[in-house]
Amino acid sequence: MIFKNKKIMQNQIIIFIVVAFTLSSCEDYFDNAQLPAILVTDDWQNNDDLEKITSSAYYLWKGYNEGISDMSIVIPSFTSDEGILSAENDQNILYGNHDLLYLRETDDNSIPYLERIWQSGYEVVRMSNIGLKHLNEFGTFKTKPNSQWEDRLKGENYFCRAFAFYSLIKTFAPPYDANGDMSIPGIIIETVNPEGAYDTKPLKTVQEAYNQILADVDSAIAYLPEAYDADRDPEAYQDRAKRDAAHFLKARIYFQMGPEYWEQSLAQIDIVLGDGKYPLAVDPADAFEKDELGAISTETVFQYVNYAAGQQWRRPAMHRYFEASQSGRMFHMNESFAQFIGWDTNAVAMADLRFTSLFTNLSSGIWVSKWKNSKHAVPMMRSPELHLTRAIICLLSGLGGGDSQAIADLNVVRERAYGGGYIPLDNSTTTEELIDITHRERAIELFFEGDRLFYLQAIRGKVNPGERTDQTVLEWNSDKLYWKIPEREMNLNNNIH
């Protein structure tokens, strides 16, 4: 569907693409989208046009209603052992099929949230492909201003594509297993866009998917700048991916691929955390309260911003599901998880600054308060995650400094969490005790940030049922922990059976 009204084209808003772009019919998605009008004719005149393409790739993270910017957090949080559906809002729960996510009904591929992350992910992929096709064939416009943007634009599009593919493979395929059969079907991998509505693609294998994801991350690392430069970059780039974001993503991927790849993960972590580049903020809530151009917490490596229409981005929707202050709130910490982290005892919870800053204790349970304002940026990558990843790798494998390095990383996280009276860990703490501490600290630090399920898969741990009375403990690679390809894709794509 393409509108040719010139007035619409002169605005930021355009209805841009036919069914071929999403494989799921355009419906009314692009009626509100803010995509560059240059896409209608491919009549690209200058490097600002290429910048708009790249900015639009980020914008599409949000999708229509929800996308990879929030569903990559919401879906695994609902599936993990952290939370429980609130009895306060049964109507909201049933209306949105949240109960099916929570109950791990992975045979049901009609759940709307699966379609939303799938559609958003491939919209990001295809927008990035548009930018990369031009940049790899022609580069920037060398006779026009800002021709020096070429490497950055390539790097950002590779980063967006890698993040989208990785979000999709974690949702719709079994976790990577170096000792398993990785020739099983994974997801669709497109590096060239379809030529028409019926130019559909088969699923690539899990191995092929991870190969492409890592190749894209390596390209992002090669092209992205280390930092924003006001004399070189557009103002909006302050809030987009820099090189360390790609290193962070690579560390996360290698960690989740399993112990066989943990040495590679450590190498990426050391790059990001080297020279103390991302010290933890004094206030645990600091990373979740940024709402201005260029405002970013010291501990945040990459955030998804929501504050400005000029950025062409929508607002993620975690507050609808998790936020204590929302009247329609529906998902909170379950009692067994509170017991696991020690917060079933009020004195223990109150001693933790994360509890007092980022959680609210109501009669119905403990609710997270990270998403108080939908205008605030969503920190997608924070340094505490890497400190805790390095700690558990060192403890479980002996790599990278073993217990000593783990103690140092744990103290970084715990000193902020427990304030001035904190007594640092030392080598009198046994390895097993340190492992238990790391599990608990990560469970608290990254609660409802989409990490818990993938963490347990990475360390090959068991996944508890939480408060699901009809379920048992699951193995890390259980088919109850990833979802079937969405129904609409199955109906439209003859290559998937």
Residues 268 and 285: beta-carbon distance below 8 Å: no
For position 6, what pLDDT does the model report? 29
Report how far residue 305's alpha carbon sits from residue 379's, in angstroms, rounded to the nearest whole number: 8
For position 324, what pLDDT does the model report? 73
Question: How does pLDDT run along the chain (497 residues), one tens digit per residue?
Answer: 222 222 222 222 222 332 334 333 333 333 333 445 555 445 678 899 999 999 999 989 988 778 999 999 999 999 999 999 887 555 455 546 788 899 999 999 999 999 999 999 999 999 999 999 999 999 998 888 889 999 999 999 999 999 999 999 999 999 999 999 999 999 999 999 988 878 899 999 999 999 999 999 999 999 999 999 999 999 999 999 999 999 999 999 999 999 999 999 999 999 999 999 999 999 999 999 998 889 999 999 999 987 654 444 566 678 778 887 777 778 899 999 999 999 999 999 999 999 999 999 988 889 999 988 778 889 999 999 999 999 999 999 999 999 999 999 999 999 999 998 899 999 999 999 999 999 999 999 999 999 999 999 999 999 999 999 999 999 999 999 999 999 999 999 999 97
Of 342, 288, 291, 296, the closest CA to residue 318 belongs to: 288
Query: Which stretch of DSSP H or E encloses residue 379?
Result: strand 378-382
Report how far residue 78's alpha carbon sits from residue 390's, in angstroms, rounded to the nearest whole number: 26
Spatial neighbors of 241 by CB under 8 A, at least 6 apart, are 155, 156, 159, 160, 220, 224, 302
**Domain presence at residue 362:** no
**Structural domain span for residue 297:** 6-323+372-492
For position 461, what pLDDT does the model report? 98
Of 325, 443, 316, the closest CA to residue 392 belongs to: 443
Spatial neighbors of 180 by CB under 8 A, at least 6 apart, are 174, 477
For position 322, what pLDDT does the model report? 83
Residues 228 and 238: beta-carbon distance below 8 Å: yes
Report how far residue 241's alpha carbon sits from residue 221's, in angstroms, rounded to the nearest whole number: 10
Number of domains in the chain: 1
State both tokens at 34.
């803010």
State both tokens at 227.
């930092």
Report which residue type is found at 29: Y
* CATH code of the domain containing 85: 1.25.40.390
Q: Where are the alpha helices (DSSP H) in 277-382?
A: 318-322, 335-341, 346-350, 353-358
Q: Is 80 left (phi over 0), alpha (psi -120 to 50) or beta?
A: beta
What φ, ψ does residue 362 adopt, rounded to 5°? Answer: -110, 170
For position 173, what pLDDT does the model report? 98
**Domain presence at residue 294:** yes
Report how far residue 404's alpha carbon sits from residue 350's, in angstroms, rounded to the nearest whole number: 29
Of 351, 350, 382, the closest CA to residue 447 belongs to: 382
For position 39, what pLDDT does the model report? 55
What φ, ψ does residue 492 adopt, rounded to 5°? Answer: -90, -20
> How far is residue 366 from each of residues 84, 99, 269, 445, measured CA to CA in Å?
10, 19, 32, 15
For position 3, what pLDDT does the model report? 27
Report how far residue 482's alpha carbon sits from residue 472's, in angstroms, rounded to the nearest whole number: 16
Report how far residue 475's alpha carbon sits from residue 337's, in angstroms, rounded to the nearest whole number: 18
Report how far residue 104's alpha carbon sits from residue 483's, in angstroms, rounded to the nearest whole number: 9
**Domain presence at residue 338:** no
Burial of 298 (0-12, 13-18, 19+ CB in 10 A): middle
Q: What would the DSSP string read from start to end of 114-171? A: HHHHHHHHHHHHHHHHHHHHHHHHH-S-TTSTTGGGHHHHHHHHHHHHHHHHHHHHHH
What φ, ψ does residue 304 adopt, rounded to 5°? Answer: -100, 115
Report how far residue 405's alpha carbon sits from residue 270's, in angstroms, rounded to the nearest whole number: 11
Burial of 378 (0-12, 13-18, 19+ CB in 10 A): buried
**Domain presence at residue 261:** yes
Spatial neighbors of 240 by CB under 8 A, at least 6 apart, are 58, 156
For position 336, what pLDDT does the model report? 96
**Domain presence at residue 103:** yes
Instruction: Put the strands of the sheet holding 83-85 in their side by side order.
Output: 83-85, 331-333, 365-368, 359-362
Report which residue type is found at 412: V
What φ, ψ does residue 123 adopt, rounded to 5°? Answer: -65, -45
Residues 459 and 394: beta-carbon distance below 8 Å: no
**Domain presence at residue 345:** no
Report how far residue 331's alpha carbon sits from residue 346's, in angstroms, rounded to the nearest whole number: 21
Residues 70 and 62: beta-carbon distance below 8 Å: yes
**Domain presence at residue 196:** yes
**Domain presence at residue 359:** no
Strand, coil or helix: 367: strand
Report which residue type is found at 116: R
Report how far residue 291's alpha carbon sits from residue 305's, in angstroms, rounded to the nearest whole number: 7
Query: Which stretch of DSSP H or E encloses residue 210?
Result: helix 206-223
